[in-house]
Chains A and B, each alone.
Chain A
Amino acid sequence: MKRREFLRRLGVGSLAAMGFSRFALAQARPVKLAALLPLTGPFAFAGNAGREGFVDGVDYVNEVLGGIAGRKLELIVEDTGYDVAKGTAAFNRVLSRERPDELLFVYGDSTGLSKALAPEIARIGLPYSATSFANELADPEKYPTIFVFGPTYNDMMEALLRQIRLQKGKARIALVYSNTEFGRDPIPYVKERAKALGMEVVHEEVTPPAFTDATPVVLNLRRANPDFVLLQGYALSAEPLILRAAREQGLRAQFMGTYYSAELVLIQRAGPAAEGFTVTYHNPYWYDTLVPAVDEMRKFRQRKGRDSSYRPTYYMGSLAVALGVAEAMRRAAQAGKLTRAGVVEYLEKIGDYNAMGLVRGYQFVNHRIPYTKLYRASVKDGRFNAITDWLKLA
């Protein structure tokens, strides 16, 4: 080969190689999902369990389901410390660092943070969900890219009120809730709905999100003498205290709570006082081994050498979000629409998918999944047992 011919071939070869490597790189570019979670602070227990759910979900998608149409799904995790300012900073950090065509979904933390970020999320068309089930977020007209992966707090209260009506027609109910966005969110709805159902709201107690002595709260309840007490906005910080104080003070009312009270640690902390505590919950528990997802994830964790003992509800919730989002991404990719808008479009179209039973089905109605079950605490079993099948709430 002549020298000139050799150089020409070398040049062409190099250019081709560069082109191919770029092409290969473009193919290999990951699709990213960011989770802004409270890894430190008062809700670190929930944030870390949630992180585990996302890690497992993303690993499962990459290793078992083959990624997102051949592209790797990458998880970005940032700590919010359950603080709106820190969470906003983390959100801005992730958005400024990541390419819009790669970062296709953000999962945030808390009602406060989500409400604060919602207008910006809507402006940039970013698919988003959060630990929050606030009613305001499930509004596709106002926030077309925000999804609530479960029933809203209003829906959860609706389920509890229906159960109350079944047990006692003209019930006297009391509301105990924290003075936070999380606590206040469903209260106007409950009051209105209870009235419509012929119930009487006999007492309303607004408290800080965490306190150390529930005696005054329970004494106020005792004076009001309700049949049912609905708790909202605590995430295990106060429920065990209230239940124990209620038992001590001889309050006979039945206590009920929503998703964030549905964790086994409540039974462990409250002891016998937890008996009969009724909650809404919309994913399977880790001990529901008949659900294929639970069995599959137990085996997956064992294969990965990860602890396969009880995983909390926050883990199950995050896992359900990760698998649901990945499915929407996969379908969007198959349709050649793997963009933020494409993910939103396909999240609205995956009603036939249920992530091996992690949810009843991703059937979003007004961008929330309005189905839940009711569970009742059994101290003897040390767990919550389902007392209803799926309740349709919209």
Chain B
Amino acid sequence: MADLLPYLIGGLANGALYSLLALGFVLVYRATSVVNFAIGEFLLVGAYLTYTFALLLPLPLALLAALPLAFLFGVLVERGFVRPLLGRNVVAVIMATIGLAAALDGGVQLLWGPDLKYLPGSLPDLGFEAGGVYVSSRAVWNLLLALPLGLGLLWLLRKSRYGVLVRAISEREVAALALGIPTARILAGVWGVSALLATLAGALLAAASGVGHNLVFFGLKVFPVAILGGLDAVGGALAAGFLLGVLEAYLPGFTEALPFVVVLLVLLVRPYGLFGERQIERV
């Protein structure tokens, strides 16, 4: 058991990042029905923003400085790319986010150049050893930031006024508008939160492995995580992220195929994901 524990910790630490990213992705899908194919690029932009601030500030402060900017970035994406297409064919919106991903890829390379970057500072070392098991600083930071944030966000969605409004919009946008709910502002906020979560994940990744285009590939994992948890289940995204992280840790040679195999198997039994709502359409 002691042999398996380090794998579990490593898996949970990596899963925490999947959860953060998937949370933002599902939040946007649930509120706006938009599948954001640029989520990996959100992470990339967030990592580069953190890197830029880290050139001037200690890393924790750089991260704090990057988050509001990331939120603003998400809001701008919603205003510039998504809102003009709302109500259009879903394929048009999907194509727009794919186009956005390509534009962001190119933009990042133009702005920051193709060279690999590494963060000049690091987060304070919180690694420790207990019972012969070493828990890395990276794992501690990932869990310390992702878990409370994810759970807090879930609580906000369930209990706060803002959360109720988001849920109301996701249920019936037209009815929410008729009731005077500031739909546009709230949806922009949802995109902002999604970009913020992606930035946090990107910054934690960057702190561990540096900044480069390959961070985008981490973003691709969000799709199996979100589908596994259930596209409309915010809590499901959180749980599925951790689940996938742990599975990957025990089977490190299969991390490319594993998420998709798991999704396939789960969808055979639960087509709406592990925590998704079963939807019945009457015709």
Residue B106 at the chain A interface, CB threshold 8 Å = yes
Which residues of A have CB within 8 Å of B249? 213, 215-216
* CB-defined contacts of B216 to chain A, threshold 8 Å: 42
Whether B114 contacts A210 by the Cβ 8 Å rule is no
Q: Which of A39, A208, A249 has the most CB of B within 10 A?
A: A208
A248-B217 in contact (CB<8A): no
CB of B7 to closest CB in A, whole Å: 6
Contacts of A220 in B (CB 8 A): 252
Instruction: Give the complex CA separation of A245 and B134 in angstroms.
Output: 10
Range of interface residues on A (Cβ < 8 Å):
35 or more
Tell me the A234-279 residues at the B interface (CB within 8 Å): 236-237, 240-241, 244-245, 248-250, 265, 268-269
Residues of B within 8 A of A39 (CB): 114
Query: Do B256 and A42 touch (CB < 8 A)?
Result: no
Question: Known contacts A39-B114, A41-B213, A45-B115; is A248 also within 8 Å of B10 by CB?
Answer: no
Contact of A212 among B7, B136, B209, B253 (CB under 8 A): B209
A320 CA to B7 CA, complexed, in Å? 44
A269 to B51, CA, bound (A): 13
* Distance between A272 CB and nearest chain B CB, rounded to angstroms: 12
* B253–A206 CB distance below 8 A: yes
A-chain residues with CB within 8 Å of residue B17 when the two chains form the complex: 212
Q: Report the Cα distance A44→B44, complex, angstroms.
A: 15
Q: Are B10 and A213 in contact (CB under 8 A)?
A: yes
Binary interface encoding of chain A residues 209-221 relative to chain B, with 1 for a CB under 8 A from any of its CBs, else 0: 0111101110110
Check: A151 CB closer than 8 A to any chain B CB.
Answer: no
Q: Does A67 interact with chain B (Cβ within 8 Å)?
A: no
A223–B136 CA distance with the chains assembled, in angstroms: 18
| CB-based contact A248/B210 at 8 Å | no
Once bound together, how far apart are the Cα atoms of A7 and B96, in whole Å? Answer: 67
- B162 contacts the other chain (CB 8 A): no
Task: Evaluate whether A216 and B256 lie within 8 angstroms (CB atoms) in the complex, with A40-B105, A48-B114 already known.
Answer: no
Are B6 and A249 in contact (CB-based, < 8 A)?
Answer: yes
B-side interface residues, number (CB < 8 Å): 39
Mask of B3-45 contacts with A, CB within 8 angstroms, 1/0: 1001101110110010000000000000000000000000000
Interchain CB contact (< 8 A) of A213 among B13, B116, B213: B13
Residues of the A chain whose Cβ atoms lie less than 8 Å from the Cβ of B113: 48
* B214 sits at the interface (CB 8 A): yes
**Is B276 at the interface (CB under 8 A from chain A)?**
no
- Pair A248/B213 contact, Cβ less than 8 Å: no
Of B209, B248, B250, which contacts A269 at CB under 8 A? B209
Which B residues are CB-close (under 8 A) to A269?
Answer: 116, 118, 209-210
Flag A40-84 by CB within 8 Å of B: 1 or 0 each. 111011011100000000000000000000000000000000000
Judge whether B152 is part of the interface by a CB distance below 8 angstroms.
Answer: no
Cβ of B106: which chain A residues have Cβ within 8 Å of it? 40
Interface status of A88 (Cβ within 8 A of chain B): no
A225 on the B face (CB < 8 A) = no
Contact check, B212 vs A212: say whether CB atoms are below 8 A apart: no
Q: In the complex, what residues of A have CB within 8 A of residue B114's CB?
A: 39-40, 44-45, 47-48
Q: Is the CB of A219 within 8 A of B212?
A: no
- Select from chain A the residue with minimum beta-carbon distance to B127: A248
Known pairs A40-B106, A248-B127; A216 contacts B118 (CB<8 A):
no
Contact B136 A207 (CB under 8 A): no
| B208 in the interface (beta carbon within 8 A) | yes
Looking at A40, A44, A215, A241, the one whose CB has the most chain B CB atoms below 10 A away is A215
Interface residues of A (CB under 8 A from B): 39-42, 44-45, 47-49, 179, 205-208, 210-213, 215-217, 219-220, 223, 236-237, 240-241, 244-245, 248-250, 265, 268-269
Interchain residue pairs with CB less than 8 A apart (25): A42-B213, A42-B217, A47-B114, A49-B115, A205-B252, A206-B253, A207-B252, A207-B253, A208-B256, A212-B205, A212-B209, A215-B9, A215-B13, A216-B248, A216-B252, A220-B252, A236-B116, A237-B212, A241-B208, A241-B209, A248-B127, A249-B6, A265-B118, A265-B210, A269-B209
